[in-house]
Chains A and B, each alone.
Chain A
Amino acid sequence: MATNHIVDARAIHKHFGTLHVLKGVDLKVDERELVFIIGPSGSGKSTLLRCLNRLEEPSSGAIVVDGIDMLDPKTDINHARRRVGMVFQSFNLYPHMTALGNVTLALRKVAGKGRAEAEALGRAALERVGLAERADHTPGQLSGGQQQRVAIARSIALEPRVMLFDEPTSALDPELVGSVLEVMRGLRESGMTMIVVSHEMGFARNAADRVVFMDDGLIVEQGPPAAIFENPTHERTRAFIGQIQRH
């Protein structure tokens, strides 16, 4: 399949039993693009994101990431997932390991680095998220914002081509959100391709290249942040934007 998009998802359907969560979604993302996905809860945003690295198996459709057919049974999915980093709402750090241990695990087991090299790369990744001096702390000794930054370091240490963020700041106290967004802004400036599911509208407005509005398992409309936030063409988008801006 010829494509010049780094992420090319076509006609993605996902059923959970009788529930039809994704109803034929197409999403193409260019290299270095930051795409924001917004929409009411239950609209399928997170499911779409989780289909892109096959944490969720789509019922049908096609997904190509960085030239790799993610749904081909012959694709080594563990190998492919190295190119797609993911950050979760609940951080999901390994509580029995230090921050450095969290970051180096996949470097050693998946990327096959030796201990010394993995630790050097791990410390560099922690440095990038501003937590070099917390390398030997366990997750329990870190704040929520610090934990999420370690989780970002765990992903970027593997040098992914795309980063997926699934509500990265929703579980954080308001005063801790800024530090995580700061790291995400830095990533964007370094040219990382990012797909972000989030309701941080301020961040979307000044950092996103494109905002995608989803509702009821479909992409309703998409465009530059200014267009979506100021002049939504669809009634459902207008209602949703109006609701979140009132808060």
Chain B
Amino acid sequence: MSGWDKFVETFFNAKVMWKYLPDILSGMVVTIELALLIVVTGLGAGLALALLRSLAIRPLNWLIVFVVDLFRSLPPLVIIVLMYFGLPYAGPAPSGFVSTWLSLAFVLMAFSEEIFWAGITSIPKGQWEAARSTGLSFGQTLFNVVLPQAFRLTIPPLTNRTIAITKGTALGTVVAVTEILGQASSAMSNSYNPSPLMMGAAAYVVLFLPVVVAARWIETRFAWKR
């Protein structure tokens, strides 16, 4: 047997792959569910915080900045572990799935708040003044004039962050979430063969490559001629 054949036999073992394909597929479903929940709630909460911050209520803004900085500096794994193993001592005992979802949603909320906020503050003051001088209210100006321009600036950093954080769903393995990596590593230890891990890697590419392509499409779609 040549070196190449041994390599394929070890990492791309057809028999092992076929056996564990259903596990990897069910892992993909869990990862998709987790990722969608994280993206929707994380970005939604981040945008809500940025909008609250634009009201310029000082004590509220201190609180927002504190929460955002906290979740930006803590490693996501620490948050997941604290929520899963620590929170039960205080009462609520979230499942591994819920712990992973909420932890990563908080992290995405924190990063996306900063990105949305940077987008909002980068819009020149003259845009606000022109809109307000025609009688538009603060809210009408924010939603019709400022946010459409801010979103366009936030799309590239936002998609990068979103992809990075949703890949963090793999951290769910430590709290027994049966997502792609969890399925792959238990299959690997059951079969004494790393082929399931390769399948897991392929699953991530299948999931995230379309997201990257879609992000690029959105970026060109939202660009306007200056």
Contact = CB atoms under 8 A, between A and B. Distances in A.
B224 A140 contact: yes
Mostly helix, strand, loop or mixed at chain B's interface?
A: helix
A140 B148 contact: no
Nearest to A79: B135
A88 B129 contact: yes
A82 B135 contact: yes
Given A95-B224, A140-B225, A55 B132 contact: yes
Interface in B130-153: 130-137, 140, 144-145, 148-149, 152
A155 B132 contact: no
Nearest to A154: B134
Contact of B133 (A85, A109, A138): A85
Interface string A150-161: 010011001000
B129 A92 contact: yes
Nearest to B130: A92
A81 B137 CA distance: 10
Contact of A55 (B124, B133, B136): B133
A78 interface: yes
Contacts of A154: 130, 134
Contacts of A155: 133-134
A129 to B, nearest CB: 16
A141 interface: yes
With most chain B CB atoms within 10 A of its CB, the pick from A105, A111, A151 is A105
B226 interface: yes
B127 interface: yes
Contacts of A90: 124, 126
Interface string A61-99: 000000000000000001111101110101011111000
How many A residues are at the interface, by size bracket? 20 to 34
A106 B134 contact: yes
A53 interface: yes
Contacts of A120: none
A95 B226 contact: yes
B111 to A, nearest CB: 25
28 contacts: A53-B133, A55-B132, A55-B133, A78-B132, A79-B135, A81-B132, A82-B134, A85-B133, A85-B134, A88-B129, A92-B126, A92-B129, A92-B130, A94-B127, A94-B130, A95-B149, A95-B226, A105-B131, A105-B134, A105-B136, A106-B134, A109-B144, A110-B140, A140-B224, A141-B225, A151-B130, A154-B130, A155-B134
Interface of B: 124, 126-127, 129-137, 140, 144-145, 148-149, 152, 224-226
Given A55-B129, A81-B135, A88-B130, 20 more contacts: A53-B133, A55-B133, A78-B136, A80-B135, A82-B134, A85-B134, A88-B126, A90-B124, A92-B126, A92-B129, A105-B134, A105-B144, A106-B131, A106-B136, A110-B140, A138-B225, A141-B225, A151-B130, A155-B133, A158-B134
